[in-house]
Structure 1
Amino acid sequence: MDNNKPIGIFDSGIGGTSIWSAIHALLPNEQTIYLADSKNAPYGQKSKQEIIDLCIKNTEFLLQRDCKLIVVACNTATTNAIKELRELYQVPFIGIEPAIKPAALNSKTQVIGILATQGTLSSELFTQTAEKFQSTKIIEQVGHGLVQLIEAGEMNSPEMYALLESYLQPMITADIDYLVLGCSHYPYLIPQIKKILPEHIHIIDSGAAVAKQTQKILETKIGFTTSKSSKPLFYTNTNPVVLKDIIGGHYNVLEKNF
């Protein structure tokens, strides 16, 4: 395999840039191609087959651009489709799922909260993971409306704060000491979430863990790039303004119909 090929990353929108950011920080010399399928966001309200079909479409797009590794930077896509993707394609896939394990193992109150999409919380993979930690009470909350507001650039709006408060207050009352963010969009809400949660409640997202797994797969199976670092490529199938705002103006965002 050609070590100098890019790493492909896709999500149902701009949220997976939180994963891209962690990968780019850890592996700055690796070429990355990020695909934001914002036109079809959120995936969490779609059927399993719809999610699989969208993931296949995204994978094909990245393989056409010669990616050596694909990161599914979306909890809903991972929990519903990564098994099928691995069966269909030879390229290695890295997925992302809610970090229940570190939260459950470190919780002192044995009560943790999970904020995620309906598609993630109702998936077979999530259920299997949660069942491994039956001594921990897991309070699940679907983040209705959060992805749509993030995609619209409304992360700091009064509407966003009101939604988060309504979702998090019951968890605070139930005495959680860990909040797991089960959607790659949600790390962008951490500043808002911190205004609501008491200081003792820890917030966990999966960005660093996915970046380390990416590094491990390159190290053991594919190899690191030997070329000089190049600028990341970003693609979106909607207006690129919000994506540009998220990643910073010095990166190019290409609007493409896919």
Structure 2
Amino acid sequence: MPHAAPVWMRRLVDGVTSGELHRGLPDSSRSGGDHDRRAAVLMLFSGAETSAELPNDAAILLTHRSPTMRSHSGQIAFPGGRVDPGDVNAVDCALREAWEETGLDRTSTTPLAQLDDVHIRASGYPVHPIVAHWHTRTPVGVVSPDEADEVFEVPLMHLTDPANRLTVGWRNWRGPAFTVDGFLVWGFTAGLLNASLHQAGWDNPWDRDTVHDLHDALARSRNNERLL
């Protein structure tokens, strides 16, 4: 329902529906993977519906994946997971997974647009990101500590602050990252956040050139990730 987007989100949603945001992602993440093992994630934005500019209360919902999980353990992520046979589509999957992980009431959200599938090389899954607006904030929290042991909203003003942005690298790979309350947001989640901030026009200039070692950055963080 792109027409239901708040004014301040319309540039972002237009970029999703036109495919421009997808084209702004790294080439290696735009396609590929096992399409029999699809997944979906919910990019849930909250913030005043009446504001024309990015509102001060604008935020996005993230989770910290339990360090005991088999895949992507310890990472900061959007709510989401594998598409089940009972899911109607990727939107249904993203909302179901968000409910299972955070207790999110799906009636409090308005799905706005769906990106083309994004490939995660680590798992081989094509992932469908769903952009939505949380029109009525409802209680959320940790539902299953084995999946996500922290659930929190991050103010977009925090993500756009250059002091909280950096570039991380490992071997021949490099990518954008964010620091959030001691956590390091990197990889798939940071790539989508970075592309979204740029597409929406919320970006501020930040140091893209200095590359910080990913292992060092993770060691200093609260992620408790298994090092690569």
- TM-score under structure 2 length normalisation: 0.27
Larger radius of gyration: 1
Please give the TM-score of this superposition, normalised by the length of structure 1: 0.25
Structure with more of its chain in helix, by fraction: 1
- By percentage of residues, which structure has more strand? 2
